[in-house]
Each structure stands twice: as C-alpha cells, then as structure tokens.
Structure 1
Amino acid sequence: MNGNNTVGRKNNTVYIIAGQTCTGKSTVAYYLAKRINGEIVNCDSVQIYKYMDIGSAKPDKKQMEQVPHHLYDFVDPRDNFTVAQYQKLALDTIDDILDRGKTPILVGGTGLYLNSVLYKMDFAAKPVDMERRKELEAIGEQQGSQYLHQLLSAVDPDAAARIHPNNMRKIVRAIEAYELGDSIDPMNKLQPNDKYEFRFFALTMDREWLYTRINRRAIKLMRSGLIDEVKRLKAMGLTADDQSMKSIGYKETLKYLDGEIDLKEAVYEIMRNTRRFAKRQMTWLKRYDDVNWVEIRKGEAVSQVLDQILAGVPEAAAQK
C-alpha cells in the first residue's frame, strides 16, 4: 500500500455504498461518482469473477465505460479467492485513486470484504497445516458439514454462529483458525482503519417493495440468459463444489441443469434464497455504529438519493 502518500493528500475520503441486495447500490454509486469525481471499487464477492455477468448483476457496461470501475470481472471462477487477497487489492486501489486526486466509492454487500477495508484485519496468519486441512475435509465428507459445525460450536461458538452449517469450506477454515490461535475477531473487537475518512451509507427500502424487486429480478435473470451462462460455466468444468458456483442464482440454476429440480422450482429457490440473504445483510449492517441509513422510496429520483448522501458535505459541490 502507498501509506506514505497520505500526508500530502488533500482528500482522504472514502465513500461506502452498502445495503441489501436489489436496493440499487450500483446505480446510486455510478451517479455519485459522476457528481463527486469518483471511481468505483467493487465490494461484492461474486462480481469479482469473469464469465459470471448475468447472475452476479454486474453494473451496466455503459456505466462501467463512463466511470472507472475497479475489481470487477478479474478472477477466474475456477480459482478460490480469499478475503486477504481482496483486502490487499482493495486498499491498493483506494490509495491509487486518492493519489490521483479522485474519490473512491466502495460498493457492494459482502460483509467480510467490507470489514477488511473498514478495520485493521491482519491476514498474515501462521502457515496452514495442509495435512490437518485434508483431515478435516475428510471428516466433513464422511460425517457431513453439520457434524463439523458442531465441532466448531464446541471450540468457537461465535464463529459457528456466523457460519452456515452447510458451508463446509468456511467451517474448516474457522476450525483451522481456532487451532492456529488466529480466529477472526467479532466486529466489536476489531480496531477501525483510521487511515481513511469513511463516509458509510447503507441503502434500504420498504420490505414489501424490496421483496417485489427481488422476485422480479429472479425472473429477469432467467429471461436475460442465466441458464446459458451457467451452461457455459459447466462446460468450463465448474461444479457445485466450486466456491463461485455456490452463489445465489448459480447454485439453483446448476441444480436445474443437473435435473435435481425443475425450472419453476429453480426460480422459486432463487427468490427465496435472495430474500433470506437480504435479511442476513440487514442483520450484518445493523452491527455497524457509524452507518448512515438512506431510505429509497418509490418514485424517488436518483438525484434526491444523492442529496441525502451529500447533505452536510461542503466539498461535494467543489468536486463536481
């Protein structure tokens, strides 16, 4: 990171546009960037992947051409990508944008990615014991992820509460972290990253309207070619075991293509799982003390949303 350059900067502000899925974060961030001479930095763990455009709901290509967008569409979906890798790239990108006199706008809804920027999270962990990892993975294959989750609950209940019982990869990593004495601290124990001045906004909207938008998007994904996109990913050798294919939209479509469910069930599962994800996102966002909530109302122009975000920011006009 270019930490030594912060002293000479006129601006060290980083905007964060977070919020639940389907609240229009990408659109708001795009127009905000145009107003304040900003550049957008992705904070979504699915939009990092190449070849996964429809299901991940990446920003509009025309918008990406008109405003610089960073950390989108650059990881092969067959590769695992860690929070530590994201943190380094995100912080380096933020520094580069600031050094060029622009304003970074971090956009997305992946909580761990966001935390890796907001807090001083040291991922320089002890070397991984690959033999132990293989042993834990073998236990998971034989006994099931629920069994591993129970093991994790016994040694690190806080981590177990944060991790879904079916997410074997995260359960194994959490057990490893505990055994290495390097478990991830809960947010109230993390030290804030005071290198930047964060302006943290979370978009929200009426729940019924949000759920309607979620349901409509599930249908739109199918009409836009999600099935063909997943077929191409399958042809590349990707399966349900790959990290990228566990994302909402992809895992359900994969089940349809594998004959496990019919198309109607796939669409229903996408709707249901997205609604559940939106609830988890809200729970996560409520943990932050310094978040500014911005309610999106029906019929409201984007300019009105930006006025809420920029209210009380005197330099906003000067950055146009």
Structure 2
Amino acid sequence: MDENQKLLVIIGPTAVGKTKLSIELAKRFNGEIISGDSMQIYRGMDIGTAKIKHEEMEGIPHHLINIKDPNESFSVAEFQQLVRAKITEIAQKGKLPIIVGGTGLYIQSVIYDYQFSDVTGNQDFRKKLEERAKEIGNEALHQQLKEVDPVSAAKIHPNNVRRVIRALEIHHLSGENSQNGNKQEMEPDLLYNAAMIGLTMDREQLYERINARVDLMLLEGLLDEVKHLYEQGLRDCQSIQAIGYKEIYEYLDGRISLEQAVENLKQNSRRYAKRQLTWFRNKMEVKWFDTTNVKIFSKKIDEISHYVEGKLQVKSNTY
C-alpha cells in the first residue's frame, strides 16, 4: 500500500448523517465514494439498507453498491481486496477516494495492515460443525475449540458460533490457530495517508432519527421489498441476517406480529448504533464531529472541510 495515498474515511452510527456529509465533501474535494457498508453490496436490498438513491448522488460516482445477489456470500477479506483496488483506481484518475459507512471491521481491514488467513474453507466439515452445534449447544462447541486452540477460544464468545466454527475449521485444515491465521498487531500500521472523520450526536436524538428512519422505510415499501426476497425462497443467507430483513422474516413466518417486527427492528437498529460507536472509539483513530444541531450542519461541513484540508494537505472547491 502507498502510505502517501490520500484517503478520506467517514464513519459513524446508522442515521447520523454520513450520506449527506459524504456528498458535500466529495463535491468539495473532487472525490468518488466507496461504500463501507457490508449489506449495501446486495441487489434488491435498497430500502432496508438505507441505500443512497440515484438522485441523492448528485452525479458523484459510487462504488461497491449492488455488486452481489442476495444469495451470494461476501467476506471481509473480499471487501478488503475490492476496496483497495478501488482506492488505487480512483486515485489514478486524480480524484480523492472517500470510504463511507458503518461496518467497522470492514473499513478497518482496508486501511490497516490487516491480513487474513489463506486457509480455504471446507464446506462438509463446516456443515458437520453446524449440526454438532445444534446437537450439543454453543458452550460445548466452544469448549471443543478451547481444547485445541485456547488462544482463539479466549477471544471468541461462545454464542458467536460462526467464528467458533471458522476457528475450528482453520485448526482442522492447517493445524494453525485462527489468531495466527488472522494476523493483526495490537497497534497495526495505517496503510494510507488517511483523514478519518467520525460523526456523532446526542444519543436520544440519534435514537429518534433511527425510529423515524424505520417508519420512513415502511412507507417507502420495506415490507414489499422483504416479501420479494422471502417469496424467492431466500432463507439461510448472509444477506437475510441484516437488520430490517430478519425481523420482517419473523413476521412473514407467522412467529410475531407486524407491530412486534417493527418494534424489534427499531430496537435492533438502536443497539447496532451503540455497538458501532463502541467499535469505532475502541478500534480506530478518529476525529469526531458532533452533528446534534442539524440547523448548523453547513457550518459543521465547513469545520470538517478545514480539518480535511489540513490533514490531507488538499484544497477544497468551496463555492
């Protein structure tokens, strides 16, 4: 990676205003936007992932949106590879690459020296472990990992079955523990000349915005969007685990009422926002800007622009 390559990163919890800011900064700094959201990659999942609409882009090119079908899997290692290539491609056009999103691990994997195991998967072995987890329970499977790979077991919660299975799979296939296969120093090297902008706001106001966004999603047709996926028979897919889809699936399965599904969706979105903030504050060096007072958002954009100019030594096209 090129340590001199300039990169702007805009992160923050869901519904905080990242999209609006990213468009303004892309216009000011001649940038192109790369989505840093792990679910906006899926076609046909527009409303529930709060995907930017074409008219909202204001002519700014956007990348890594609508590149996969909902039945396809997508890994953080694949994201890392695709985004790094996009950064190079955008820079070669003389433009500023701008990563915008809320999926912390994905963004972290791109900008830091974060290496992934080259151990390929074994579908049959994984299936056996999935069945075994159902038979013996999460704790017992985690205990199995503890016996062969105590280092990884100490870092993975027993209820994170997917990661427990992956760690067992890596050990089974290579004899390595998954921490060796997923090398990340305590203080990993930053691979780009990056300005990392974080947006935050008063928690109660953020939660109100999240609730209002869910209501708007329903008005825009979220139920029909999810029904379309449901009727295609999509079920045990990575995409359907996304907030906004799994809750509606429970309603369509007849397990809960629509009212309860909506309440669950709002609650899960609020909890996700809280987890996002915790992740970014603990894992990345971010310059935070409070956007609680949306009435002075234009002034806040000016403030952020000045920070970016100083950090990256670039000039803005203010108008």
Do they fold alike, i.e. is TM over 0.5? yes
In structure 2, relative to structure 1, the CA distance for the partners of 1:286 and 1:140 (3 Å cut) is: same
Report the alpha carbon displacement of residue 290 of structure 1 after superposing the two structures with TM. Answer: 1.9
How far apart, in 1, do the equivalents of 2:202 and 2:9 lie?
21
In structure 2, relative to structure 1, the CA distance for the partners of 1:24 and 1:153 (3 Å cut) is: farther
How far apart, in 1, do the equivalents of 2:266 and 2:144 lie?
32
Q: Which whole-Å deviations, capped at 9, do the CAs of 1:231-279 have from their partners, x for residues lacking one?
A: 111122211x211000111000111111111011011101111111111
Aligned to 1:110: 103
Aligned pair partner of 2:210 in 191, 209, 214: 214
Report the alpha carbon displacement of residue 306 of structure 1 after superposing the two structures with TM. Answer: 1.9
Q: Which runs of 4+ in 1 moved over 6 A?
A: none
Aligned to 1:250: 245
Aligned to 2:231: 235
Partner secondary structure for residue 138 of structure 1: helix
Retained in 1: the 8 A contact 2:9–2:99?
yes
Aligned to 1:223: 219
Aligned to 2:165: 172
Retained in 1: the 8 A contact 2:16–2:200?
yes
| Residue 305 (str. 1) matches residue 300 (str. 2) | yes
How far apart, in 1, do the equivalents of 2:222 and 2:154 lie?
36
How far apart, in 2, do the equivalents of 1:186 and 1:127 lie?
16
Aligned pair partner of 1:94 in 73, 84, 87: 87
Retained in 2: the 8 A contact 1:39–1:69?
yes
Aligned to 2:45: 52
Partner secondary structure for residue 227 of structure 2: helix
Report the alpha carbon displacement of residue 153 of structure 1 after superposing the two structures with TM. Answer: 6.1
Q: Which whole-Å deviations, capped at 9, do the CAs of 1:192-236 have from their partners, x for residues lacking one?
A: 242x20111111000110111111112222111111001111122
Q: Which whole-Å deviations, capped at 9, do the CAs of 1:83-125 have from their partners, x for residues lacking one?
A: 1111110000011011111001101111221121122222251
Partner secondary structure for residue 282 of structure 1: helix
| Residue 282 (str. 1) matches residue 270 (str. 2) | no
Retained in 1: the 8 A contact 2:291–2:297?
no
Partner secondary structure for residue 137 of structure 1: helix
Aligned length: 308
Report the alpha carbon displacement of residue 178 of structure 1 after superposing the two structures with TM. Answer: 5.2
What fraction of aligned residue pairs are identical, expressed as a percent? Answer: 40
How far apart, in 2, do the equivalents of 1:247 and 1:37 lie?
32
How do residues 192-211 of structure 1 correspond to structure 2 at under 5 angstroms? 192-194=189-191, 196-211=192-207
Aligned pair partner of 1:43 in 23, 36, 45: 36
| Residue 67 (str. 1) matches residue 64 (str. 2) | no
Q: Which whole-Å deviations, capped at 9, do the CAs of 1:45-87 have from their partners, x for residues lacking one?
A: 1111000000000112213351000001111110111111111
In structure 2, relative to structure 1, the CA distance for the partners of 1:78 and 1:215 (3 Å cut) is: same
Retained in 2: the 8 A contact 1:238–1:245?
yes
Letter in structure 2 aligned against 1:104: P
How much is the aligned-residue C-alpha RMSD, in angstroms?
2.4
Structure 2 gaps, min length 5 = none
Report the alpha carbon displacement of residue 40 of structure 1 after superposing the two structures with TM. Answer: 0.4
Letter in structure 2 aligned against 1:248: I
Aligned to 1:137: 130
TM-score by length of 2: 0.88
How far apart, in 2, do the equivalents of 1:172 and 1:287 lie?
26
Letter in structure 2 aligned against 1:35: R
In structure 2, relative to structure 1, the CA distance for the partners of 1:152 and 1:12 (3 Å cut) is: same
Partner secondary structure for residue 17 of structure 1: strand
Letter in structure 1 aligned against 2:315: A
Q: Which whole-Å deviations, capped at 9, do the CAs of 1:113-166 have from their partners, x for residues lacking one?
A: 1121122222251233444323212212323445434545663244314xx82x
How far apart, in 2, do the equivalents of 1:127 and 1:174 lie?
12
How do residues 256-267 of structure 1 correspond to structure 2 at under 5 angstroms? 256-267=251-262
Q: Which whole-Å deviations, capped at 9, do the CAs of 1:161-194 have from their partners, x for residues lacking one?
A: 4xx82x5333322333455425255865253242
How far apart, in 2, do the equivalents of 1:265 and 1:153 lie?
38
Partner secondary structure for residue 73 of structure 1: coil
| Residue 191 (str. 1) matches residue 184 (str. 2) | no
In structure 2, relative to structure 1, the CA distance for the partners of 1:216 and 1:203 (3 Å cut) is: same
Partner secondary structure for residue 44 of structure 1: coil
